[in-house]
Structure 1
Amino acid sequence: MRSAVIGFALGVGFLQTQAALPTVWLLCCLLALATLSIAAACKIPYPYLKSAANLLAGALFGIAWAGLFAHYYLQHELPPAWEGRDITVIGTVDSLPSYFEAGVRFTFAVEQALDQDGESPVVPGRLALGWYRAAGQPPPAQVQAGARWQLTVRLKRPHGNANPHGFDYEAWLLERNLRATGYVRPDQKLDVKNRQLQAFVLSPGNLIEVLRSRLRQRILQALPEHRYAGVLVALAVGDQNAIDQSDWEVFNRTGISHLVAISGLHITMIAGMFAAIIVALWRRSCFTRAALPLLLPTQKVAALSGALVALCYVALAGFGVPAQRTLYMLLVVALALWSGRIASVSHVLCAALALVLLIDPWALLWPGFWLSFCAVGVILYTSVGRSPGMALEGKTRLARWRSNLKAAGATQYAVTVGLLPLTALLFGRVSLIGPLANALAIPLVGLVVTPLTLIASALPAPLSTWLWRGAHALMEQLANFLNWLSALPFAVWQAATPQTWTFALALLATLWLLAPRGWPLRWLALAGWLPLLLDNGSRPGAGEMWVTALDVGQGMAVLIETADHRLLYDSGPYYSPTSDGGSRVIIPYLRARGITRLEAMVVSHADNDHSGGALSIMESVKVDTVYSSLALNHPIVQAATDHRRCHDGQAWQSETMKFEMLYPNLAYYPAPAAPGKFNANTVSCTLKITHGQQVILLPGDIEAAQERQLIASHAGQLKANVLLVPHHGSGTSSTAAFLAEVEPQIALFQLGYRNRFRHPKQQVLERYQNLGIENFRNDSDGAILLKFGDTVSVDTYRNQHRRYWYGR
């Protein structure tokens, strides 16, 4: 059974790395072949050969199962012909609505799509929608889970930013069967069509979501203006949206982020505590006439009560992967006890693994899956078959307490050390103070804060309010301690995402270090971690320059690198008060590459799609010098340690690279007290980088007038192999005269998928194509990767990282 489950997991993992899905006919054949293989394996008398046959059969079944699952989900895709068109749909809100400053986001289950001008729209069954408030109006706060609405929406096919080491939003949407995203149309002419038809539609899913929504509302209303109320909401219903981004950074740096969510640890603790209470009452019923243990054994009652509590808590949490894993393990144990079978821990773990992947074949794409199962695997490796330690029978209560504390400390040590290589692989950094922080946070959050939060959820006010305030006070004190720990200079070890060989070596070293006592030279295993911890990541070779045009949506962000120097041109767009191109795309990429310092950052101008991520970057990465055309009182200028206003004539050199600022002239900057609205595009910093015989020109958002000024002031000096297309391909830029002066061979279009400006304009795109210029676009290619040497080579992230769900 175990070998078949391992093969099944390997087959599912193999399928999720494919650029295209096998045909349904081929997958059905694999499914039949897997069934025959399992039947044949049962008759093989040799254990090792039987295990190999089961492994193969499981792998074939995993490929077939995951492939058929994917085919079923993908067939509900929104047709391209219905992208960007107004569609009126009727359906229910089937998720916990997520409110934010500008509106609300929710999942919508479509029941009916109304005809549009005589056509019948083809709409997926589930949509990810945003409803944004119109200017001067309050957000649409009346959206509640379980309600039936008629909405006019504008949709697009699933699309997300595609960058190395970035979050795969398209895979996330596929996993949740959300085959279109969009927004509710707020136009006044259409408002009459956006109306609630029914306050609540009864179904098990809607009932759970309503309970989650009401509980969240109760907690937030009971704790107004309390900073960590969002943490209590996360512990109660799994909704983490109310937790501040700065708090998340502290939790991540101290290694306790797994506690600020409904994890397997929480579920196990709550289920165990509830089962212990029921068992205590059940046993003491012998003092009454009931004598319940004679009717049903105490062990079965404990298993049943723990499993039921875990099921309720997981439902309240929204069925996350760590929660599912714990639930399935508890259910398997309960089933084994009720059936009179003794289940080994490895069988329980394999059963949970099979159930998770049967229900969700995409689960293994996410860090939570690996951390969850590997943590249990480490515990098994360091406990099963080892010395049981001191027997507790006949010992004093203090001795038993010490023994349990020692065992808990040993388990925490094993999990922390055992997950170190995986943590470095998934997150590119390791919390050195994590063991200390967890030693305090695990018992406090797991045994006090979480139970108080859940008990208060079942009580009426004011009792619930008192308990929630007590839980918040404890969480606040813990957070103060964590803030102090996080500020320590040695709190986190930052390293690049490890290469395959360094990760494998660290993994072997970890197994060696955690081997049983008496294993020879266990301390030498520490040397196996050194390549992983000291890895600086990939770097350009001598005489090379790398240019990465990151996919940040509708905005610009270009990273230029040599072996020892890095410059960032623009910082991506501003998305929301808690998210921008810097925090969402650029910083994760820099961390994964092991880049902790930028010699320079150029913020071409003040528009949010170019400057939106600068402050986030400056808070996370050391930036030596900032060049910009921003006003001197701008927050970015104030935050910079060394700010220089960019202007024509600036030049500096680094190794084989020469940097020249070609625009603007200082005379073009407006006077501080100049009246009227100023167009920041007119002073976009235009940077020319020369590397040997290769040149790249970065002109920001200059328009036709600025292009003419550049031609007049730098005639014959604008030639470049690579051109970052001005103003994202706007119709006001990329004039024929400018392109004739630059003569690029490669053009980089940085723009968002189906952006509201409709960039690039068709006439501009045709102008580049007619000149034979090779075009690359972030919206269709993802991040664009260029290597400058004797020649310029170009590749794209979507080409390197092809997956069947990209649909390209």
Structure 2
Amino acid sequence: MGAGGRQAGSARGLTGARDVRLLALAFLAGVLAVHQLATLPPLWLPAMLLLPGLVRWPGHAIWLAAVLGAGWTIIDADKRLTARLPVAAEGETRTLTGRVASLPERDAIRTRFVLESDADPARARLAWYGEHPPLRAGDCWRVTARLSVPQGSANPGSFDYEAWLWRQHLHATGYVDSARRCDADAPWSVNRWRQAASEQLAAALDAGIGAALIRGLTLGDRSALTDADWQVLRRTGTSHLMAISGLHIGLLATLVFLALRGVLPWLPPAGMNPPVLTLAALGSGLAALGYAAFAGFALPTQRALLMVAVVLVALVLRRPVLPSRVLALAGLAVLIRDPAAVLAPGFWLSFAAVAWILYLLRGRLGSGGWRRWLWWQPALVLALTPLTLFWFGQASIVAPLANAILIPAFGVVVPAVLGAAALTLVWPGVGAPLLRLVEGALATGWQGLAWLAELPVAQVSLAPPSAWALLVAVAGLALWLAPRGIPARWLGVIGLLPLLAAPPTPAPGAFGLTVLDVGQGLSAVVRTADHTLLFDAGPRYRSGFDTGRALVLPYLKSRGIGRLDRVVISHGDIDHRGGWPAIRSAMPVGQALGAATDRPCLAGQSWRWDGVDFRMLHPATPGGEDNDGSCVLRISGAGGSVLLTGDIEASSEQALLDREAEGLAADILVVPHHGSNSSSTGAFVQAAAPAFAVVPAGWRNRWGFPDPAVVARYRQADARVLHTGRVGAVRFDLRPGEAVDVSRWRLRYRRFWHRPVCGSAGRAGSGSLSCVQPEEGR
């Protein structure tokens, strides 16, 4: 081929690569667009939108890719919605026969596992409480279980549990009433192998951080890592090292490829001249596939495996391959396999990290020695900071230092861990002592990482940026980190400024109230222009789940709140004070009143913040921490008033009527005792006469709160009754001279995979999904 032919072929290759990248981005845009919708469109809509793309015009291929992405997402989502448990079946007890399709997760009070059956719901996440026979992946069980619709608390800033269940293809949750083994165990199961290997490794190791890291790095089994361990990883920006991804898969594939390419020519029979490159690529690919399978095929693992596969095929075919094209093909493969992957932070962080690395290689950091490497880490961490702020509201300051040390070290750590683990599994007598040596080295290294995490400047927390602020920041970074020769690169810094923007606060004289959805409990946040008050901290459960840490703190951080000026714990019940220790340890607190504090609530206590008055109405005398001793706080400003009542019951309500009959009126009332019929007497409801009555109770809780008779009383008083278990967190803005503005999080941040609420069903025109009313009694 002549020079002209080579140049033409090169140009066609570059154009094709560019097309693949654009098509992948268009497909991603279509997938992402559907996932922003509150209602799933009918399938005929993308079918109609395909028609313009069938005519050739500039950009028709991009149009087709986007519409295909949207259509494929609708098909996938429609199938999942049909398979999930309908709301009308909430609380039903069903008998399911199926196999354990996950590694069982055991804690102090229960074992959680996924049961995969032939009947609907096809995949259910079940909890088995108390003592029970051991569970193994692949075992067949016939269980009688009480089932629930996939649902979780709905609050700004907190983890979207319903989205996680959707990503995991889980169609119901529930708990086991009874169960017995059946005779159809899976003869072959990757998870069965993973569990056996995990147990064998655990038996060879001590129950410490070193053992937890080994199981995580070899099998993707991170169940032994505690919340404190994850906190160390997050504060040092090294969580990605525990997600088996390109670093791990690529390193193993490279080592196996080089080893086979060096050894194969020397193997007998002599003189055969085996296809070394092909066999080395095949062996390398099989090693990568085996590692990915034992790691559970998580999203970063899938991406890495696909990229390794494309590179190995290109090597065998002796075809040049552009890394950006490999990344685009891997992204397309992941999205075709599972469109819901776009809901996972790992999808964005994994692909973005590789994309930024490729960009930096072509830019100012593309060549050089160790000095370039030192600049690489802060540049990459800075490039990923907008995404980490968007997903987690925090970024690590010490991440460049930690990663500059650990990433090169993993070139030794990963082979050592995998080699010692493999030897332990096949030859325990030799492998176990080596594995314990590796365990000790990892535990020693962890101490240094933990010290780094304890530094006060290790991490910065900011309010998560909006999607638009994220896009502006990414564009600014792309300009700032662009190759030399591009003018005015410094202007890219301006694009980072929106990341620092704090959410708006009320004007002087105005205030906001947010009653969080913490399940069966209470936590409410009051904000004035310059002050924040927390009333109750939500429950903590026997399982260890702490709503203070998991729900309240993320909400506070999402609103840019770094300090609580005052905390009121209404009384001693665990559903009101359970989250207080976690909040107190994570955030500065000016003053605390009530249960579990040094200063009790007492009627007559008062203060004024930014033109807003706070007055404690109950209890009249300090003492008990039971329901009737609950703190009752009235907040009033020019825009309206709020009454926070804790768990007071009828006798305390009468005492308040006797002392404060005229001071109970409020625009917004947080209903006493979660709507129990032991509270909210007719006289109290009439005296309060609220426009809004908020019931802080779990959805379909076992006590049946709110009681229908209580709801009827508030309705008779012309109050709108809002149930946090149904509508999620409820936010009120009370501004002088304006009507009270109310926002219900489940309706504001509505997505089709969320538990359906009447008026916003998950699928357009679908009658198979029952729904619940957004307001009680309506």
- The normalised TM-score by structure 2 is 0.90
Unpaired runs of at least 5, structure 2: 1-19, 758-778
Q: Does 1:652 align with 2:607?
A: yes
Q: What corresponds to 2:113 in structure 1? A: 106
Whole-Å Cα distance in 2 between the matches of residues 255 and 385 of structure 1?
A: 24
Task: Determine whether 1:92 maps to 2:92.
Answer: no
Preserved contact between residue 103 and residue 140 of structure 1 (Cα < 8 Å): no
Matches within 5 A, 1:635-714: 637=597, 643-666=598-621, 669-670=623-624, 680-692=626-638, 694-714=640-660
How far apart, CA to CA, are the structure 1 residues paired with 2:367 and 2:641?
Answer: 68
Q: Pick closer, same or farther for the CA change 1:734–1:457 going to 2, 3 Å.
A: farther
How far did residue 684 of structure 1 move? 1.1
Given the alignment of the two structures, is residue 799 of structure 1 paired with residue 770 of structure 2, yes or no?
no
Instruction: Give the distance between the partners of 2:310 and 2:599, measured in 1 at CA.
Output: 64
Give, in angstroms, the shift of residue 274 of structure 1: 2.1
SS in 2 for 1:368: helix
List alignment gaps of at least 5 residues for structure 1. Answer: 113-122, 134-138, 186-190, 391-402, 631-636, 638-642, 671-678
Q: Secondary structure of the equivalent of 1:171?
A: helix
Letter paired with 1:462: G
- The one-letter code of the counterpart of 2:580 is A
| 1:578-614 Cα distance to aligned partner (Å, 9 max, x none) | 4311111111122222211000111111211111111
Question: Structure 1 residues 351, 738: closer, same or farther in 2, change over 3 A?
Answer: same
Correspondent of 1:181 among 164, 173, 176: 173
Cα offset, 1:463, TM superposition = 2.8
* Aligned position for 2:249: 267
Deviations 1:659-687 (A, max 9, x none): 111111225x25xxxxxxxx721211111
**Following the alignment from structure 1 to structure 2, what is the Cα–Cα distance between the partners of residues 291 and 17?**
62
The alpha-carbon distance between structure 1 residues 554 and 529, as it changes in their structure 2 partners (threshold 3 A), is same
**Candidates 207, 228, 241, aligned match of 1:225:** 207
d(CA) in 1 for partners of 2:89 and 2:592? 44
Counterpart in the other structure of 1:213:
195
- Cα 1:581–1:447, aligned 2, differ >3 Å: closer, same or farther? same
1:351-380 alpha-carbon deviations (Å, 9 max, x no partner):
001001001101111211111111111111
Write the letter of the residue equivalent to 1:482. L
- Whichever residue aligns with residue 243 of structure 2, its letter is A
Whether the aligned pair in 1 keeps the contact of 2:27 and 2:68 (CA below 8 Å) is yes
> What is the SS of the residue equivalent to 1:306?
helix
Alignment partner for residue 524 of structure 2, among 558, 565, 568? 558
Which residue among 24, 33, 38 is the counterpart of 1:14? 33
Matched, 1:611 2:577: yes
Give how far 1:310 is off: 1.6
* Aligned ranges 1:374-773 → 2 under 5 Å: 374-384=352-362, 389=367, 403=369, 405=370, 408-449=373-414, 451-453=416-418, 455-459=420-424, 460-500=427-467, 502-520=469-487, 522=489, 525-526=492-493, 528-532=495-499, 534-576=500-542, 578-630=544-596, 637=597, 643-666=598-621, 669-670=623-624, 680-692=626-638, 694-773=640-719
Q: Distance in 1 between matches of 2:408 and 2:86?
A: 51
Distance 1:750 1:218, change over 3 A: same
One-letter code of the match for 1:480? Q
Q: Which residue of 2 aligns with 1:295?
A: 274
Identity %: 37
**Change beyond 3 A, Cα 1:578–1:442:** farther
2:287 aligned residue: 309
CA separation of 1:775 and 1:245: change in aligned 2, threshold 3 A: same
State the shift of 1:61 in Å: 0.5
- Give per-residue Cα distances to partners, 1:533-554, cap 9 Å, x unaligned: x433332233321111111111
Q: Which residue of 2 aligns with 1:331?
A: 309
Q: Is 1:128–2:94 an aligned residue pair?
A: no
- Mapped to 2, the partners of 1:804 and 1:499 lie a distance apart of 21
Query: Could you say which residue in structure 2 is the equivalent of 1:281?
Result: 263
What do residues 325-368 of structure 1 show as CA deviations (whole Å, max 9, x unaligned)? 11111112222333443221121111001001001101111211
Aligned length: 733
Distance 1:223 1:649 in 2: 60
Deviation per residue, 1:198-250 (Å, 9 max, x gap): 383224xxx11111111221222222332342222221221222111111111
SS at match of 1:688: strand
What is the CA–CA distance in structure 2 between the aligned matches of 1:20 and 1:212, rounded to whole Å? Answer: 38
One-letter amino acid matched to 1:296: P
Aligned equivalents of 1:290, 1:705: Cα separation in 2: 96
- Partners of 2:396 and 2:750 lie apart in 1 by 32
Distance 2:289 2:664 in 1: 66
What secondary structure is seen at the aligned counterpart in 1 of 2:513? Answer: strand
**Counterpart residue identity of residue 375, structure 1:** A
Q: Is the 8 Å Cα contact of residues 218 and 417 (structure 2) preserved in structure 1? A: no
Shift of 1:576: 4.5
- Aligned partners of 1:387, 1:223: CA distance in 2, in Å? 42
- Please identify, of 456-465 and 147-156, the stretch whose mean Cα deviation from structure 2 is larger: 456-465
* Contact preservation (8 Å) 2:386, 2:473: yes
Task: Go from structure 1 to structure 2 and tell me whether the alpha carbon gap of 1:578 and 1:523 turns closer, same or farther (over 3 Å shift).
Answer: farther
1:201 maps to which of 164, 182, 186: 186
Q: Secondary structure at the match of 1:711?
A: helix
For structure 1, which segment, 330-339 or 620-629, has the greater mean C-alpha deviation from structure 2 after superposition?
Answer: 330-339
**Structure 1 residues 216 and 199: alpha-carbon distance in aligned structure 2, compared to 1, 3 A threshold:** farther
Partner of 1:160: 152
Structure 1 partner of 2:84: 77
What's the counterpart of residue 765 of structure 2?
none
Task: After superposition, give the CA deviation of every residue in 1:260-279 in whole Å (9 maximum; x if it has no partner).
Answer: 23222211112222222222
What is the SS of the residue equivalent to 1:575? coil
Distance change in 2, residues 1:389/1:499 (3 Å): closer
Listed as ranges, the matches of 1:26-37 within 5 Å are: 26-30=45-49, 33=51, 37=54
Q: 1:129 to 1:291 in 2, by over 3 A?
A: farther
Partners of 1:446 and 1:168 lie apart in 2 by 35
What is the RMSD computed on CA atoms of the aligned residues?
A: 2.2
Q: Give the TM-score taking structure 1 as reference length.
A: 0.87
* Deviation string, structure 1 residues 741-768 (Cα, Å, up to 9, x no partner): 1111101111112212221112212222
Q: Is the 2:364–2:481 Cα contact (8 Å) retained in structure 1?
A: no
Whole-Å Cα distance in 2 between the matches of residues 595 and 28 of structure 1? 46
In 2, Cα distance between equivalents of 1:319 and 1:224: 27
Higher relative contact order, structure no. (Cα contacts within 8 Å, ≥ 6 residues apart): 2
Structure 2 distance, partners of 1:61, 1:93, is 34
For residues 435-457 of structure 1, what are the alpha-carbon distances to aligned partners after superposition, in whole Å with 9 as ceiling and x for unaligned?
Answer: 11112222334531564245323
- Cα offset, 1:482, TM superposition: 1.4
SS in structure 1 of the partner of residue 395 of structure 2: strand
Alignment partner of 2:662: what SS?
A: coil
Distance 1:304 1:538 in 2: 57
Shift of the alpha carbon at 1:567? 0.4
Q: What SS is found at the alignment partner of 2:125?
A: strand
Contact 1:33/1:60 (<8 A) preserved: no
Relative distance call for 1:273 and 1:578 in structure 2 (3 A) is farther
Change (3 A) 1:199 1:69: closer
Q: Is the Cα contact below 8 Å between 1:648 and 1:664 reproduced in 2? A: yes
Q: Quickly say closer, same or farther: Cα 1:3–1:227, change in 2 above 3 A.
A: closer
**How far apart are the structure 2 equivalents of 1:453 and 1:622?**
43
Distance in structure 1 (CA, Å) of the matches to 2:461 and 2:92:
46
